[in-house]
A and B are shown apart, each in its own frame.
Chain A
């Protein structure tokens, strides 16, 4: 099984994701590079989020969903029976589309995840490091005990990123993290992603093609195909190639705005 080369953070093999009898995502083979930002783009409803949520087994909460094929991390299939999804989600953190801090204090938002995962170090330090890591420390250092709901949308989203890096994952999944934010907040999140990729592998789903072009190193283009209307990755390459010399006509139509 140990065929994965170390440069890949995570890898899918013949991955298909089903909701009941419906095959939402079909035959995806992706090798996600370590320490890079990989963007998943494509039209609405093509299974981008479904694919992203498969990586940290969030689809497990959809009662009818099941998966064929493999997702390999360090050569281990995340969907094999002996793997605990709770452990997977600690290794692969997630930032959601809508900022969703806990209705607790800013401090507690970060400390809770660390505590339940058995963090034994100095909690105050961890909170500060995580907030600094998410470029939020200076804005909130005087109001750590205040409710996270008092923050603006952009700050809340950075708090969610801080919460995620506090548990030290290897990979961070981002599901359209800036789609609910204004351009300035979006810019800050994008700058933050560039810093984060020094320590983490990031996979981001986005609707915004400019954003994908700006932030990502690799891009996977997804599209519906066939009679089953299943989504699959039609092209996966370095971002500048996808956006300048795509190999697939459909990709070219999509990234130039002629389609979708």
Chain B
């Protein structure tokens, strides 16, 4: 009988125990894999937070308490202007006035000028967050010994001002406003190119193209491969096509813009658009594929044409999926750095982009550039900018998840 061919009694117990042991080993392996991933992520976040906050040692060229009779925090607009006039050379004041008439500047701007031009903060050293929290005595001792007369203050490099001030050559006054606008412009151009083209291509491939034809199989394979092409290759493509070949278009020369070359937001946006296009196509295809065939059959069954079926039934039901995929593609575009370096993002620019033909910088470029600087205060603002970038990415991804959960259909 076959009964004897299976383990019995004692053997059976041993056999079952052995099976449980194997299961336990695998479970432990998977759990440790998860733990490693969580550790790596925590290390990343701690590292960034560590850099963005902490003690700074700084000194003033002029003591703010001695600059004016009232504390400078309490000065109003006219008093601030008077202070600037008294303390700056005539040439320097006139130059500032020519850039933007003093009386039209806000109190905040004037205050910034006073700090920057008169008080002249100089950062001597920055400390990371955890050292600041747990090793305060050592820091104080070091400051007293090395920088006598300097001030020690706990500073968050990530402030509301950090978001709204433009780029500056001094880390203390630099912000990500320019880069943030650059990123937003670039992503909007990328998406407004990639979304219609990508969805269109996906509809064609999924609903019209014959799955059997060799040509379509080749196209499909290529799209899948394009999604994995290193982004720097797209940078080369953008440089060759958008910056060089289509310079007349991307520099805006065709539209009467004369003061720029092809290294504009438009070039960068289109390059990013090409980069995320395969992602948009694949995601949209998946969403369209997920619409059950029975709905298509129902539509054809009442005499609908292919287009009526696609427009009234397939697209509305695939839309949440398409949107989710597109937002994920957007967050890819926000984070990409390499193509921008090649396409020619400016590393130092303090003017907000004014349109598609402006020179630009973007958040990752700014972070890259700041990290490359020698001074430790730039590393601190780089960490702060990374937090801004991460929050932006998390917001986009959270939106995608919310959309998916809200509109997900069950058939």
Residues A167 and B302 in contact, CB atoms below 8 Å apart: yes
The distance in angstroms between the C-alpha atoms of A163 and B292, with both chains bound, is 19
Bound-complex Cα distance A86 to B312 (A): 16
Q: Which residues of A contact B295 (CB under 8 A)?
A: 100, 102-103
Chain B residues with Cβ below 8 Å from A163 are 298, 302
Distance between Cα atoms of A136 and B175 in the complex (Å) = 66
A94 on the B face (CB < 8 A): yes
CB–CB B304/A113 < 8 A: yes
Contacts of A166 in B (CB 8 A): 302
Is B100 part of the binding interface, using a Cβ–Cβ cutoff of 8 Å? no
Give chain A interface residues in 30-88, CB to chain B under 8 Å: 56, 58, 61, 63-64, 86-87
Q: Nearest B residue to A163 by beta-carbon distance? A: B302
Residues of chain B within 8 A (CB-CB) of A96 are 294, 297-298, 301
Beta-carbon contacts under 8 Å, A154-182 to B: 160, 163-164, 166-167
Q: How far is the CB of A85 from chain B (nearest CB, A)?
A: 9
Query: How many angstroms between the C-alpha atoms of A96 and B293 in the bound complex?
Result: 12
- Give the interface size bracket for A toward B: 20 to 34
A256 at the binding interface (Cβ < 8 Å): no
* Residues of B with C-beta under 8 A to A63: 210-212
Query: Is there a chain A Cβ closer than 8 Å to B160's Cβ?
Result: no
Chain B contacts of A231 at CB under 8 A? none
Q: Which of A64, A116, A164 contacts B212 (CB 8 A)?
A: A64
With a CB–CB cut-off of 8 A, which chain A residues contact B302?
Answer: 89-90, 93, 112-113, 116-117, 163-164, 166-167
* B297: chain A residues within 8 A (beta carbon): 58, 61, 94, 96, 100
Output the nearest chain B residue to A108 by Cβ-Cβ distance.
B312
Interface residues of B in 144-202 (CB under 8 A from A): none
Across-interface contacts of A90 in B (CB, < 8 A): 302-303
Residues of A contacting B303 with CB < 8 Å?
86-87, 89-90, 113, 116-117, 167
Those of B203-231 within 8 Å (CB) of chain A: 210-212
Taken together as a complex, chains A and B put the C-alpha atoms of A100 and B309 apart, in Å, by 14
| B1 to A: closest C-beta gap in Å | 36
Q: CB-CB < 8 A to B332: which residues of A?
A: none
CB neighbours of A160 from chain B (8 A): 298
Q: Is B122 on the interface with A (CB-CB < 8 A)?
A: no
**Chain B: minimal CB distance from A66 (Å):** 14
Q: Is B354 an interface residue (CB 8 A)?
A: no
In this assembly, does B289 line the interface, its C-beta being within 8 Å of a C-beta of chain A?
Answer: no
Residue B244, interface by CB 8 Å:
no
Q: Is the CB of B298 within 8 A of A116?
A: no
Residues of A within 8 A of B301 (CB): 56, 58, 89, 93-94, 96, 164
**A98 is an interface residue with CB less than 8 A from chain B:** yes
A113 to B300, CA, bound (A): 9
> In the bound complex, what is the Cα–Cα distance between A100 and B298 (angstroms)?
6
CB-based nearest B residue for A160: B298
Question: A98 near B300 (CB under 8 angstroms)?
Answer: no
| Chain A neighbourhood of B308, CB < 8 A | 116
Chain A residues near B (Cβ < 8 Å): 56, 58, 61, 63-64, 86-87, 89-90, 93-94, 96, 98, 100-103, 112-113, 116-117, 160, 163-164, 166-167
Given contacts A58-B297, A103-B409, A117-B303, 19 further A-B contacts (CB under 8 A): A58-B301, A63-B211, A64-B212, A86-B303, A89-B301, A89-B302, A90-B302, A93-B301, A94-B297, A94-B301, A96-B294, A96-B297, A96-B298, A96-B301, A100-B297, A100-B298, A102-B298, A112-B302, A116-B308
A–B Cβ pairs within 8 angstroms, 25 of them: A56-B301, A58-B297, A61-B300, A63-B210, A87-B303, A89-B300, A90-B303, A93-B302, A96-B294, A96-B297, A100-B295, A101-B298, A102-B298, A103-B317, A112-B302, A116-B304, A116-B308, A116-B312, A117-B302, A117-B303, A160-B298, A163-B302, A164-B301, A164-B302, A167-B302
